[in-house]
């Protein structure tokens, strides 16, 4: 467990890297419309949001296990991230794929 803590650093760093990755991907997707079809860009956008919310669910569970001391003090942060990610993920999987057509 200590080795994982060394690799991850802190929960703020874990959340920061995951949100930074999502922002980088989300801002790179509109530039793809010049290279590929716009319908595929829309599908990739939805897919990236789905994977990001699944990543946030995993990250919130991982930080609650690995950083239990931090979790016992700031449990409401993990609860908020987990609840919002779960609601968004459930909502996105309920959407049909052909919503934009």
Provide the mean pLDDT of the chain.
Answer: 76
End-to-end CA distance of the chain: 48
Per-residue pLDDT at 101: 47
Scored b (16 or more CB within 10 A) or e, 13-33 reads: ebbeebeeebeeeeeeeeeee
Per-residue pLDDT at 1: 65
pTM metric for this prediction? 0.63
Q: Is 36 helix (H, G, I), strand (E, B) or coil?
A: coil
Tens of pLDDT, residue by residue over 12-43, are: 777 777 778 778 777 777 777 777 777 777 77
Q: Which of 25, 26, 28, 29 is nearest to 41 (CA)?
A: 29
Q: What share of the chain is helix, strand, coil (3-state, %, to 5)?
A: 85, 0, 15
Q: Which of 26, 37, 73, 78 is nearest to 56 (CA)?
A: 78
Tens of pLDDT, residue by residue over 49-100, are: 778 888 888 888 888 888 888 888 888 888 888 888 888 877 777 766 555 5
């Amino acid at each position: 467990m200590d080795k994982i803590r060394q690799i991850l650093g802190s929960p703020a760093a874990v959340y920061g890297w995951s949100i930074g990755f999502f922002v980088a991907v989300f801002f790179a997707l509109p530039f793809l419309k010049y290279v590929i079809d716009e319908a595929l860009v829309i599908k990739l956008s939805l897919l990236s949001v789905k994977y990001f919310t699944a990543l946030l669910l995993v990250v919130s569970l991982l930080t609650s296990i690995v950083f239990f001391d931090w979790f016992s003090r700031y449990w409401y942060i993990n609860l908020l991230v987990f609840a919002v990610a779960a609601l968004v993920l459930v909502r996105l999987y309920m959407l049909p794929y052909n919503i934009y057509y």
